[in-house]
Amino acid sequence: MPCHARSSSISRRHNPIPLLPPLRRIAVRLNHDVPGELQASELIHRYTTGRWPLWRLLSMHRLGNVLYCAVEWLRSSKQGNSERYALAEVALDHVGVRWHYHGSAAAARAALRTVAKASATK
């Protein structure tokens, strides 16, 4: 007589439902019909993806024609902690990127929050 007790392990023949990555909140909307915004979108995509990404994007905020990005530098000859995190300013009306180094990811995010709060009070 066969025993119908449940097994304590999962069958290897059964493929579990693949887990989906969590949905991300939209941080910034860019209009790809505007050439400068399309270039900025492509630049950020190029810097944050691929085999050897340059940046790890921590957070973003748009203020007028500037896109502020808290980033972690991934590929740099200067791997000191003081130059690992930055608040990058990506221009949306012309091709241009500026950055200001911060000592930690928390400091870069705090600088971004300061920019966002300043824009909210205007």
Name the band, by pLDDT with cuts 50, 70 and 90, for residue 24. Answer: low
Is residue 73 within 8 A of residue 82, CB to CB? The reply is no
Contact at 8 Å (CB) between 89 and 66? Answer: yes
pLDDT in tens, 51-98: 999 999 999 999 989 999 999 999 776 656 668 999 999 999 988 999
Give the model confidence (pLDDT) of 65-75 as tens digits.
Answer: 999 999 999 97
Pairing mode of beta strands 85-91, 66-73: antiparallel
38-51 pLDDT per residue, tens: 999 999 999 999 89
Say how far apart CA 9 and CA 7 lie, in whole Å.
5
The closest alpha carbon to 92, from 56, 59, 68, 58, belongs to: 68
Contacts of 10 (CB under 8 A, 6+ apart): 16
Contact predicate 91/44, CB 8 Å:
no
Strand partners, 57: 71
